[in-house]
Amino acid sequence: MQIREWQDLIRRTYHERDVARGLPKDFMWFVEEVGELSEALRFGTREEQEAEFADCFAWLTTLASLSGIDLEKAIDKYRRGCPGCGKIPCACPKGE
């Protein structure tokens, strides 16, 4: 599945609810999912980790859609490697 197809799937599935809730509440749901991902990475099984990554990606996609952002276009920022130094792998000084 392409990123654009994914974004369209999430939009068709949840858009009405997401709009009704509004961006601030949707963002709080996203943050909650990130917390669940943190817990899964520390203590969860592989399956629990996969599920939480999927949930985070779905909520991030929702936030992008509600903000009018095309994720496939947005990720072009990384198409040529590191946006800072332009290299693969990144050659930026450590800590940046």
pLDDT in tens, 52-76: 999 999 999 999 999 999 999 999 9
* Residue 86 belongs to a domain: no
Which residues, other chains included, contact 3 with Cβ-Cβ below 8 Å and sequence gap of 6+?
71, 72, 75
**Tokens standing for 84?**
């800072």
How many distinct structural domains can be found in the chain? 1
Q: What is the pLDDT of residues 1-20, one digit of tens each?
A: 999 999 999 999 999 999 99
Domain that holds residue 52: 3-78
d(C-alpha 7, C-alpha 20), whole Å: 18
| pTM (two decimals) | 0.90
Domain presence at residue 88:
no
| Residue 21 covered by a domain | yes
* Total residue count of the chain as it appears in this document: 96
Q: What CATH number corresponds to the domain at position 26? A: 1.10.287.1080
